[in-house]
Structure 1
Amino acid sequence: MGKGTKPKPNGGAGSGSAKKPAPANSGGSSSLASAETLRLLWMGSAVAIAVAIAVPFTLRTLAAAPPTASTMPSSSNAAAEMAREPPRSPARCIDGWAECPRVPGADWVALAELEAAVKMAEFDAASIEACLGPTPLLSPEPVQGMHLLCVLPPPRWRRENEDEVRGGEEAGVAAMLAIFPMMERRERPSRVVMLPSLSKADDIITVLRYKLRFPSRGPKYQRPALFTEDGVRLVKAEAALGRGNRALHRLLCLEGGQWLWPPVEKGHVHIIHNLTAPGVDTRVVTVSLKPLVVEVENFLSAEESKYIIERASPHMEKSGVALKDADIGKAAKEFRTSSQYFLPTTRDPMLEKIDRRVQYLTRIPISHAEYIQVLRYNHMEHYSAHHDFFDPAAYASSPDMLASVEHGARNRLATVFFYLNNVTNDPDVTKGGGQTNFPRAATSEFPQGGPQPYDYFDCSKGLSVYPQEGKVIIFYSMLPNGQMDDFSLHGGCDVLDPSATKWSANFWLWNKPYQFNDAARKTSTAMLQQQYL
């Protein structure tokens, strides 16, 4: 209200005198007043509705619009102000400015225009064929959280109604990613992403998280990561985009941030050179896609297997279990009857060598591993079907357990299971028993995975892997997206031969570093990290 002005009387501007409100129930004139009142109320409601609709729309429009000169910082500290602001470079972002990927130097309008143009263009068939072969990586079934990225050079393109052929570099494109989401087997990629010139592989992840709509699960969870097809982690964008090394033309993005061997299909073989000995090729064979299980024969020598047994034998004691809320009060022998010992690997040259070999087999730093759990199963001893991960929902009454797994953000990722002896010398290995059984594994009867077992001691369903001295299997308790895999349910079956003993060992690897950080493991982890590109 301006200085010196007086409030107007009731009735608004221009009214000569205040109108008295009509008395209630004042006969015939009241009906006219009521009608006028209703008309005014109706008009007011209509205006309110229009405003309610228009304001959010206007705000969204303003949020999505490129900045004008009046919105740009005008002070000498403009750069500092821009750094504190949400990204303001022109963009076509799905959810507005606040959701734009925060990467430096990206002209998102030019990139979006180029992506739209390339979607309608023909791909270079030779480049796609080179990416998909000669070693296949795609699977007949989707692999949740694992994506194949074909790194292609910036495309040549032209705008509609233009004859001029342009290079992708003109739009600030450093490379084009042709993406096969979830490793699904198909002839052509289903997504194309243009990448600006970036300095860190983590910036590429930021773009992929936005473009592929990866779910955000909180700061305690692992960020997605990029790897070569052999499991070498990529930390520099230059290496990821293959600059100066066009042989590096395909990458894998794993949403869970840790390496798992691509399953491809049952019977597929990955080759690792010089793992067990110089000049020796190690075969990593897929035996199941759901759950993901691979096996490696002759991973341990006979000498190494015997050494582990001898080291652990004097210390074996009855195995315990971490009881879930529903099982509190039950005895461990209701679930398992084996014996165990956690064998420290520190200051033991042979065990430290096995540590390093496990690290290079799994591509997971040994700092993520527990000590070896050596197991002994005598006649008719077993372990009922269980998971190796710790489901937070099953330990709600245990604060210590919930804290140790960070309410699900930290958990067991993979189990490397050693078979240290042959349970039977009979050519028919089934007669000895002692197999590792996965009751929910996909089969011809249940191609999408089996149901929950009625009897957790029943080893007749799903997949069974029988003991063979020196062999290891890797089964993954987590999917590549970092979620727990319910199909990884597994058990140790009865040893059937009365005179036989089964010796085996667990090597549990977590998705985050474990508490054992002795000097040897730190050194081994550093050796692996030196291979990062």
Structure 2
Amino acid sequence: MPPSQTVTPELRQWIIDQAGAGITAPALIAAMQESGWNEDVAVQAVEEVLRAHLDGLAQSRGLPAAVPVPEPDIADSPLCIDVGDRQVEVLMAMANPRVVLFGNLLSPEECQAIIDAARPRMARSLTVQTRTGGHEVNADRTSDGMFFQRGENEVVARLERRIARLVNWPLENGEGLQVLHYRPGAEYKPHYDYFDPGQPGTPSILQRGGQRVATLVIYLNNPAKGGGTTFPDVPLEVGPRQGNAVFFSYERPHPSTRTLHGGAPVTEGEKWIATKWLREREFI
């Protein structure tokens, strides 16, 4: 084992050079372990070095600066995360883009309680109109939806506390929980969740809590067919299974985050989901 587990400038440059030559992050970590590095130290070193390098490249290309984002505590590859009142399973994790699939975030009874509370208030879903800061009907989004106020009822407040612990982000930085209902044929075509900084309405939107920096899509039922959450740039499709949730974060409002995503058409049955968007600062 090396006399020190310190990440030296020489090691940083080696990681960058190897990555530039096409060596994958898992292969870099394996090579460091063969040289005596602790696995956790190797994983952290590769992630931090490559992220810092990519941030530098991004800024040199004139991209927006990266900001801190929510991050689940999964560096040591746990099977579950304790969120206080239940153990949430870690089913899959991807580093770039940061995508984590969780299981057992909600019980079937809690899922049904959210659906029952939302159903009487459903209306055609709107999207944020970044040209003006308002909202509009968008042909790309053919679901019905509604918003709960933060902490509006017991099950919503309980879910919000779990999410805050799960992704290590202040509860008050979350927008109100949105519930969406997709009937057969309904979909949400690929899009980004951050607000386009080039649009004139974005500054007014950001006054309420800054940029969105992460999303959690929570599946409230089991559609018979279709309705997965797709990430075309990866590519990846997450199947909608009741009680599970897919988390993804985006450190800058730019396509380089590879967080383009959509809701695939429901081909049989119906789909109910809840979406939690997380902001940089307190959402007011």
CA positional deviation for 1:258: 3.7
Query: 1:298 maps to what in 2?
Result: 104
Q: 2:190 aligns with which of 385, 388, 397?
A: 385
* Residue ranges of structure 2 left out of the alignment (5+ in a row): 8-32
Q: Which residue of 2 aligns with 1:467?
A: 240
Distance 1:494 1:273 in 2: 31
TM-score normalised by L of structure 1: 0.41
Structure 2 residue 40 is the aligned partner of structure 1 residue 269: no
CA spacing shift, 1:298–1:132, aligned 2, 3 Å:
farther
| 1:77-156 alignment, distance < 5 Å | 124-125=3-4, 133-135=38-40, 138=43, 143=47, 147=48
Cα deviation code 1:204-246 (max 9, x no counterpart) = xxxxxxxx9x97xxxxx99xxxxxxxxxxxxxxxxxxxxxxxx
- Is this contact kept in 1: 2:124–2:137, CA < 8 A? no
**Residue deviations 1:429-477 (CA, integer Å, cap 9, x gap):** xxx0001111111xxxxxxxxxxxxxxxxxxxx211111000011011x
Structure 2 residue aligned with 1:256: 67
Q: Which amino acid in the other structure matches residue 405 of structure 1?
A: L
1:319–1:132 Cα change, 3 Å: farther
Give, in whole Å, the separation in 2 of the partners of 1:391 and 1:496. Answer: 31
Matching residue of 2:282? 513
Counterpart-to-counterpart distance in 2, 1:347 and 1:389: 25
- Could you tell me the TM-score, scaled by structure 2's length? 0.74
Q: 2:147 is matched by which residue type in structure 1?
A: F
After superposition, the Cα gap between the structure-2 partners of 1:322 and 1:181, relative to the gap in structure 1 and judged at 3 Å, is closer
Letter in 2 for 1:403: S
Distance change >3 Å, CA 124–CA 512, structure 1 → 2: same
2:204 to 400, 403, 422: 403
Aligned CA RMSD, in angstroms, stands at 3.8
Q: Tell me which amino acid in the other structure corresponds to 1:463.
A: L
Summarize the Cα distance change of 1:262–1:351 in structure 2 as closer, same or farther, 3 Å threshold.
closer
Report the CA distance between 1:376 and its aligned residue.
0.2
1:464 and 1:474 map into 2 onto residues whose CA distance is 13
Check 1:127–1:490 CA distance in 2 against 1; reply closer, same or farther (3 A cut): closer
Structure 1 or 2: more strand by fraction: 2
| Distance (whole Å) between structure 1 residues aligned to residue 257 and residue 77 of structure 2 | 25
The Cα shift of 1:125 comes to 4.2
What SS does the corresponding residue of 2:204 show, helix, strand or coil?
helix
- Measured in 1, the distance between the counterparts of 2:72 and 2:246 equals 12
* Structure 2 match to 1:53: none
Q: CA deviation at 1:297?
A: 0.8
Query: Alignment identity in percent?
Result: 25
> Match for 1:421: what amino acid?
N
SS at match of 1:392: coil
- Match status 1:439 vs 2:245: no
**Matched residue type, 2:38:** G
For structure 1, the residue ranges without an aligned partner over 5 or more in a row are: 1-121, 148-179, 185-211, 216-220, 223-254, 425-431, 442-461, 516-533
Q: Between Structure 1 and Structure 2, how many residues are aligned?
A: 250
Preserved contact between residue 69 and residue 214 of structure 2 (Cα < 8 Å): no
Higher RCO (CA 8 Å, separation ≥ 6 residues): 2
Residue pair 1:137, 1:262 contacting (<8 A) in 2 also:
no
1:343 and 2:148 matched: yes
Structure whose CA Rg is larger? 1
How far is the alpha carbon of 1:335 from its aligned partner?
A: 1.2
| d(CA) in 1 for partners of 2:205, 2:233 | 27
Contact 1:138 1:183 in 2 (8 A): no
